[in-house]
Amino acid sequence: MTLQRTFIMVKPDGVKRGLIGEIIKRFDQKGFTLLNAELMTVDRSKAEYHYMEHQNKPFFGELVDFITSAPVFAMVWEGENIIEVSRLMIGKTSPLEALPGTIRGDFAFTKEENVIHGSDSLLSAEREIENFFGLLKKRISKDDFPFEDRKSV
Ligand code: UDP
């Protein structure tokens, strides 16, 4: 059993296109548990820290402009092997490679504005959750859910 937490973010294009509900639905129906969520505007320092691994890439400036341009819907989800499984659900970065049935395959048509972000490793998940929600702020655990057995229905 490998219970993990990951950081999932509906990007500004996904929020504008009304995809928040669809994305929550997919993670919820998969059996994952939503631990935290907030509609927020991201400032440049938070966006730069979030995408620090891309700071030397030619698209870095435009990526930060995009993420800070309008509200995002940031979430923390928990579940079995969720980091790997959520990346499968999200699909590849490029619309030419994102398969139908994945979130990007079904909704994204450019590699720059591709609807959703999901952490790609345990280390980035921890860093990204802390960047967006803080270490202690509003951290709730699966034990706080009184309706645990709903997932087995
Ligand atoms: N991105 C971009 N141009 C590129 C590659 C990536 O604007 O040529 C953006 C895109 O929004 C992507 C993000 O940078 O989702 C992070 O890139 P990464 O390779 O980490 O892809 P992801 O993990 O989001 O699939």
Confidence grade of residue 133 (pLDDT, cut at 50, 70, 90): very high
Residue 109 Cβ contacting ligand 1 at under 6 Å: no
Residue 79 in any domain: the answer is yes
Residue 152 in any domain: the answer is no
Q: What is the pLDDT of residue 142?
A: 54
Q: What is the 3-state secondary structure (H, E, C) of the chain?
A: CCEEEEEEEECHHHHHCCCHHHHHHHHHHHCCEEEEEEEECCCHHHHHHHCHHHCCCCCHHHHHHHHCCCCEEEEEEEEECHHHHHHHHHCCCCCCCCCECEHHHHHCCCCCCCCEEECCCHHHHHHHHHHHHCCCCCCCCHHHCCCHHHHHC
Residue 38 in any domain: the answer is yes
Residue 86 in any domain: the answer is yes
pLDDT per position as a tens digit, 71-121: 999 999 999 999 999 999 999 999 999 999 999 999 999 999 999 999 999
Rounded to the nearest integer, the mean pLDDT of the chain is: 92
Range of the domain at 35: 16-142
Which CATH number fits the domain that encloses residue 88? 3.30.70.141
Residue 151 in any domain: the answer is no
Q: For ligand 1, pick from 48, 89, 112 the residue to mutate: most ligand atoms within 8 Å of CB.
A: 112
ipTM over 0.90: yes
Q: Is the pLDDT of residue 58 over 80?
A: yes
Q: Is the pLDDT of residue 138 over 50?
A: no
Residue 2 in any domain: the answer is no
Residue 83 in any domain: the answer is yes
Nearest protein Cα to ligand 1, atom 19: 93
Per the structure, how many domains does the chain have? Answer: 1
Residue 72 in any domain: the answer is yes
